[in-house]
């Protein structure tokens, strides 16, 4: 390995530090500890462990009876789609099916809380969020039947393709956000959010 430092070129064995140069980790260890910011922040609780709603002035929840009925309808429908897909998988019609059973409320709640500009980077069982984004459930079945690579236009639905690789979604979302930032789109989004309609 050759290490270049200014004009001088020094040959060094792999993994051996240069003379008088502290190991990188040692150099870090010698630094005074940075002041820790208050990472805990304010504790915000919106639900009790029993699932009862707690009012918070910064997070008002204004839902009409019709809104609640709509969301409940979504919960029932996505569970029905899930049940059907499990049956199809058991009959050999689908190669695999990642069931959302038990996640209906979390998915419909998060899906319905999205603004139209938000982009979703889903894992493999986010059928409830897909439903909220207007993805035809048949498209999900096609994917799990192995006859399509996704089947929907991510930008059109603001819903990326299902991605099986665990943890990849955070990277994709971060890259996408960085792209928006570099395009100046974040300023546009902020303005739009502050001037609804
Ligand atoms: C990087 C990576 N490693 C391994 C797998 C294989 N795999 C698919 S599902 C799964 C379990 C995931 O469990 P969890 O994160 O709790 O999510 P769940 O599916 O139970 O909702 C694993 C290990 C994968 N998809 N990606």
pLDDT tens digit sequence for 52-69: 999 999 989 889 999 999
User: Atom of ligand 1 at shortest distance to CA of 166?
Assistant: 26
Per-residue model confidence (pLDDT) at position 43: 85
Mutate which of 99, 107, 123, 166 to test ligand 1's pocket (most atoms within 8 Å of Cβ)?
A: 166
> C-alpha angle with apex 156: 163 to 142, nearest 5 degrees?
50
**Which residue, judged by its Cα, is nearest atom 16 of ligand 1?**
166
164 lines ligand 1 (CB under 6 A): yes
Contacts with 173 (C-beta within 8 Å, 6 or more apart), sequence order: 119, 121
Cβ atoms 17, 23 nearer than 8 A: yes
In b/e form, how buried is each residue of 20-35, taking b as 16+ CB within 10 angstroms? eeeeeeeeeeeeeeee
pLDDT digits (tens, 9 = 90+) for 31-47: 666 565 555 577 899 99
Q: How many A from CA of 165 to the centre of ligand 1?
A: 7
Give 29 or 144, the one with higher predicted confidence. Answer: 144
- Classify the C-alpha dihedral 75-78-84-88 as positive or negative: negative
pLDDT digits (tens, 9 = 90+) for 67-115: 999 999 999 999 999 999 999 999 999 999 999 999 999 999 999 999 9
Residue 28, pLDDT > 70, answer no
**Which residue, judged by its Cα, is nearest atom 13 of ligand 1?**
166
165 lines ligand 1 (CB under 6 A): yes
Per-residue model confidence (pLDDT) at position 6: 37
Per-residue model confidence (pLDDT) at position 185: 74
Domain at 65-194, CATH homologous superfamily: Thiamin diphosphate (ThDP)-binding fold, Pyr/PP domains (3.40.50.970)
């Amino acid at each position: 390995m050759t290490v270049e430092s200014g004009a001088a070129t020094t040959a060094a064995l792999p993994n051996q530090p240069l003379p008088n140069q502290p190991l990188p980790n040692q150099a870090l260890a010698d630094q005074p500890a940075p002041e820790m910011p208050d990472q805990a922040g304010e504790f915000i609780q919106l639900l009790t462990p029993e699932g009862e709603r707690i009012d918070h002035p910064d997070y008002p929840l204004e839902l009409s009876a019709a809104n609640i009925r709509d969301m409940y309808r979504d919960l029932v429908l996505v569970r029905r789609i899930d049940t059907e897909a499990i049956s199809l998988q058991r009959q050999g019609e689908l190669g695999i099916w990642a069931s959302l059973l038990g996640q209906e409320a979390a998915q419909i709640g998060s899906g319905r809380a999205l603004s139209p500009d938000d982009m979703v980077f889903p894992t493999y069982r986010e059928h409830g969020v897909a439903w909220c984004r207007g993805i035809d459930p048949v498209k999900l079945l096609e994917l799990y039947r192995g006859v399509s690579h996704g089947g929907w236009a991510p930008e059109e639905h603001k819903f990326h393709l299902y991605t099986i690789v665990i943890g990849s979604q955070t990277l994709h979302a971060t890259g996408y956000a960085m792209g928006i930032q570099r395009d100046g789109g974040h300023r546009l989004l902020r303005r739009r959010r502050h001037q609804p309609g």
